[in-house]
Structure 1
Amino acid sequence: MLTLVDKPTSQRASNPRPHAVVIGSGFGGLAAAVRLGARGYRVTVLERLDQPGGRARVHRQDGFTFDAGPTIVTAPFLLEELWRLAGKRLADDVALVPMDPFYRIRFDDGTDFAYTGDPARMRAEVERLSPADVAGYERFMDFSRQVCRVGFEELGHVPFGRVRDMLRIAPDLLRLHGHRSLHAVVARHIRDPRLRQVFSFHPLLIGGNPFRASAIYGLIAHLERAWGVHFCLGGTGRLVEGLVALIAGQGGAVRCGAEVARITLAGGRATGVALADGSAIAADIVVSNADSAYTYGTLLAGQARRWNTKKLARARSSMGLFVWYFGTRRKYPGVDHHTILLGPRYRDLLADIFDRKRLAEDMSLYLHRPTATDPLLAPPGHDAFYVLAPVPNLAGGQDWARLAEPYRQRIAARLEATVLPGLADSIVTSRVTTPQDFADDFLSLRGSGFGLEPVLTQSAWFRPHNRSEGVENLFLVGAGTHPGAGLPGVLSSARVLDSLVPDASSLPRPEAGEPR
């Protein structure tokens, strides 16, 4: 028999607001909680790990602070809106610093490209590498502006719960080449193979292969130019702390170490959650920020009609991530905050990762040096780093317990030979995260880093809907639902709920003496 774990009846009587339970405290779940709190709900966020944030948790080790997941902030107005909804100002709690350059992209031959938000400087960088591609670059950026207006500004917060929603945007999809891959569209405008990589890599930031991710994801280039790329002083974890404080200020709560075993149902409606410890929490609505495949395959015990076990088995998952966090006893002042080190192969490496599921000998890396902007994230005279390598998800069958250390050593050798000379003798702290950790810690299908792969047939209406199919009062947010992964995507998924979840004041109030 399940025991109700909630506020005591006397407290529920004094706080009769409808109750919303949010499963998971990633950015999507926290943003949903703030929005629901602003609309009159009493919100309880349940997190199975020992700290909030989900993939945005923080590792503190030997005097270093490492953001485990997201390291950049784009479209900060989405965060500012959350603080306004709670009657606060983002700037009073969090300092966002603009990045310049956004990224330093280093090609395998040692040449580099400073990727910024300044149109004149970007034209000059393009001209330095390939004068013949300046006009094509301008055409691509005009394309990116158009697709950002439609795909992000107009549709990023709009639900796609009906097939006619997809049909309505079909003309725009065709006009903006949404049926083509981003790399194919970039290649129509730009000839230099290095610049084709520069302007097509963005889908990798949300788990997509540029050679099959829809050209709609070309919107990211303009999104970054329009609103900038920022870093949060103190690390991205400061944003998590700020959101948790907003929820508390609204009268909600974030409970860590609370694992949800299943979503409880009655008559096809979500009625709350059952916890792994045998207790239960009743709710008027349930919002799942868990991996969408886990929500349908486990939390609903396979009872979903559309996203059933067979369909989930056929679905494409995004790639896996190997992340190495390390600190050095010396500083590397010549290394930018964000560096992308491209390997000798592009298309073939991505085919190894996404299709053949083979762990290749070569690699492309994203290197994050947060102490370039905030020295307080490491002890004095030290640097903190995070290096990420896209790798196959667990469908590749790799044994990461055996492979993790040799692969880390290969990454270290690559870094030492390129941008971090003397690295081997400078490391003072180290830890890694593998696709197996994504499966174990975040319950991610196949240990993928970003949920379902962002291909056209798994986007918008084809993605798990924000309003659950077949289960009333159940809603989804986060990377596994519309509009997808990345900080703007998951924050926008919470925005979608504004048009799906009724205001708390419109729900029937409980009868006298009836617990809620």
Structure 2
Amino acid sequence: MNDSLHISERKAHAVVIGSGLGGLASAMRLGAKGYRVTVLDRLDKPGGRGSSISENGHRFDLGPTIVTVPQVFEQLWVACGRNFHNDVDLRPIKPFYQIRWPDGSQFNAQSNMRSEVERLSPGDVHGFEKFLNDSEKRYQFGFEDLGRRPMNKLWDLIKVLPKFVMMRADRSVYTHAARRVKDERLRMALSFHPLFIGGDPFNVTSMYILVSHLEKTFGVHYAMGGVQAIADAMVKIIQSQGGHVAMQSEVDEIVVKNNICKGVKLKDQTVLDADVVVSNADAGHTYTHLLRNHTRRRWTNRKVKKQRWSMGLFVWYFGTKGTRDMWADVGHHTILNSSRYKGLVRDIFIKGKLAEDMSLYIHRPSITDPSVAPQGDDTFYALSPVPHLGHDDAVDWNQMQEEYRQKVAKILDRDVIPGFEKHLSASLIFTPNQFESRYLSPYGSGFSIEPRIFQSAWFRPHNVSEEAKGLFLAGAGTHPGAGLPGVISSAEVLAKLVPDAPHVPEQILKVAAE
């Protein structure tokens, strides 16, 4: 008998916790860097907040509904040697959305909004153009520069402080809009965008006016099949790289030994070893639960609790039968305003009070994508920002859910889709309770940590964790923040911090008999 020693090589292993779009993008980036990647998620479908649920022939996209910066997806696909548009059918939406006020006035957001501003408030045209110029400068600095590079070192922040000062980042989005235009409706139309990523327009840094530029320049798009179709396409690329996506596999703990991340332990006690671990779980959940048995220096339970969290969301998903040709004035995206703006936002973010009035975002994808509903039918969701569950005397949604749904229905019937309730064919409701239980989001917040100035960039949980070597973060709770462009960019930043995969030698003893 002769013994022969066979030397083989294996790829370094990366485990990604969570199949939200930030997690899937991270897996794609790591696969392109040579890692063998395993993605683990507790849900039954990939996509996280961008996943979907089907009921009675209606497909409900549960979270994000628009793509505003297609190039972040295009560049992600290129990094994996693929063409995004071969895998995803992206359609431009025109107008981007329609904003309606109680006085009957309307504003159609579109690439060339000068005519809309002239119609709504002629005296504000010059100020509006100055606002767009401000927006472009902040986009170039805030998104293309800061948003696409690491901000985990204090020196990274110190270097850019002069520019933050020059751009008056201390002002809020609303304050900046108010300095440029006088009409209160236009001030709202130019300042509400932080609500799309969980921010209070009256307190979030004015850097976020950059959204006006990216909408104007790149447009607003819808992925046929919904954001779920994007997530499904990402899974296919991960699998083509040799990676594995395991649904209904919940991670209970990140395993750390001698301050080095060694892998993860699942709810069923299975342990997976890893050379790199990426958490796409909410940053708060990552530190307070997944690292609960590890002594933390920076992100202690106390510090996590002290953060300001984004608002909660009440979302009513519903289908209507035989209505496709009804309500011709209701487009893909409609924003319906309360008579209050500042007061309502203050109730939601500061007072934590469930107000009697509300503003609604109404999503009607069936007029663009017939696959979301049976033929001739409609699929909708109506979203109302509400307080998160962390306020004193938090809303008891077990008690309030139906009452609030009836209030939403009354407004929809009166102002948007009259008579819709007699056509209802499907109904599903998410409150902050569902965001807390389904997504493990602290306080049921809709978008993780609120993007205030001292909770952005370096102040936000970093993409490379200080708590354990080999642990990285992606998604809404880390840099650069929430929203599809933000979470996809978080994977780009992460890829700049994770080294290329080394080939790790393994000695395998093979005994061959002659």
What is residue 129 of structure 1 aligned with on the other side? 120
Question: Aligned-pair distance for 1:92?
Answer: 1.6
2:43 corresponds to which of 27, 46, 49: 49
Q: 1:25 to 1:349 in 2, by over 3 A?
A: same
Secondary structure of 1:174's counterpart equals: helix
What is residue 478 of structure 1 aligned with on the other side? 475
One-letter identity of the residue aligned with 1:347: K
What is residue 368 of structure 2 aligned with on the other side? 373
What is residue 138 of structure 1 aligned with on the other side? 129
One-letter identity of the residue aligned with 1:380: Q
What is residue 436 of structure 2 aligned with on the other side? 439
2:146 corresponds to which of 155, 170, 173: 155
Question: Aligned-pair distance for 1:112?
Answer: 0.4
Secondary structure of 1:395's counterpart equals: coil
1:410 counterpart = 2:407: yes
For residues 482 and 513 of structure 1, the distance between their equivalents in structure 2, rounded to whole angstroms, comes to 42
For residues 163 and 36 of structure 1, the distance between their equivalents in structure 2, rounded to whole angstroms, comes to 26
For residues 271 and 376 of structure 1, the distance between their equivalents in structure 2, rounded to whole angstroms, comes to 43
Q: 1:378 to 1:177 in 2, by over 3 A?
A: same
1:308 counterpart = 2:306: no
1:356 corresponds to which of 328, 344, 351: 351
1:104 counterpart = 2:101: no
What is residue 421 of structure 1 aligned with on the other side? 418
What is residue 281 of structure 1 aligned with on the other side? 272
Secondary structure of 1:211's counterpart equals: coil
- Asked if the contact 2:16–2:23 (Cα under 8 Å) also holds between the matched residues in 1, the reply is yes
For residues 376 and 49 of structure 1, the distance between their equivalents in structure 2, rounded to whole angstroms, comes to 23
1:466 corresponds to which of 455, 463, 481: 463
1:389 counterpart = 2:384: yes
Higher relative contact order (CA 8 A, sep 6+): 2
1:168 corresponds to which of 159, 164, 186: 159
What is residue 94 of structure 1 aligned with on the other side? 88
Farther off after superposition, 13-22 or 440-449: 13-22
Secondary structure of 1:164's counterpart equals: helix
For residues 207 and 303 of structure 1, the distance between their equivalents in structure 2, rounded to whole angstroms, comes to 30
For residues 309 and 410 of structure 1, the distance between their equivalents in structure 2, rounded to whole angstroms, comes to 37
1:68 counterpart = 2:65: no
For residues 440 and 290 of structure 1, the distance between their equivalents in structure 2, rounded to whole angstroms, comes to 13
Mapping for residues 116-265 of structure 1, pairs under 5 Å: 116-118=110-112, 122-265=113-256
- Asked if the contact 1:296–1:303 (Cα under 8 Å) also holds between the matched residues in 2, the reply is no
Number of residue pairs aligned between Structure 1 and Structure 2:
497
Secondary structure of 1:236's counterpart equals: helix
For residues 368 and 307 of structure 1, the distance between their equivalents in structure 2, rounded to whole angstroms, comes to 37
1:19 counterpart = 2:10: no
One-letter identity of the residue aligned with 1:250: Q
Secondary structure of 1:343's counterpart equals: coil
1:37 corresponds to which of 8, 26, 31: 31
- Asked if the contact 2:9–2:504 (Cα under 8 Å) also holds between the matched residues in 1, the reply is no
Provide Cα deviations, 1:452-496, integer angstroms capped at 9, x if missing partner.
011001000000000001311000000000000000000000000
Provide Cα deviations, 1:44-90, integer angstroms capped at 9, x if missing partner.
00001111111111111101111011100111111112222332222
What is residue 512 of structure 2 aligned with on the other side? none
1:323 corresponds to which of 315, 318, 334: 315
Secondary structure of 2:315's counterpart equals: strand
For residues 75 and 128 of structure 2, the distance between their equivalents in structure 1, rounded to whole angstroms, comes to 33
For residues 35 and 511 of structure 1, the distance between their equivalents in structure 2, rounded to whole angstroms, comes to 25
- Asked if the contact 1:333–1:372 (Cα under 8 Å) also holds between the matched residues in 2, the reply is no
- Asked if the contact 1:363–1:389 (Cα under 8 Å) also holds between the matched residues in 2, the reply is yes
Instruction: Structure 2: state its 5+ residue gaps.
Output: 1-6, 510-514
One-letter identity of the residue aligned with 1:307: W
What is residue 72 of structure 2 aligned with on the other side? 78
Provide Cα deviations, 1:195-236, integer angstroms capped at 9, x if missing partner.
000000000000000000000111111011121110011211
What is residue 328 of structure 2 aligned with on the other side? 333
Over aligned residues, Cα RMSD in angstroms? 1.2
For residues 132 and 148 of structure 1, the distance between their equivalents in structure 2, rounded to whole angstroms, comes to 26
What is residue 487 of structure 1 aligned with on the other side? 484
Q: 1:421 to 1:272 in 2, by over 3 A?
A: same
- Asked if the contact 1:262–1:298 (Cα under 8 Å) also holds between the matched residues in 2, the reply is yes
One-letter identity of the residue aligned with 2:243: G
TM-score, length basis structure 2? 0.95
TM-score, length basis structure 1? 0.95
One-letter identity of the residue aligned with 2:117: V
One-letter identity of the residue aligned with 1:403: M
2:397 corresponds to which of 381, 396, 400: 400
Farther off after superposition, 237-246 or 88-97: 88-97
Farther off after superposition, 397-406 or 355-364: 397-406
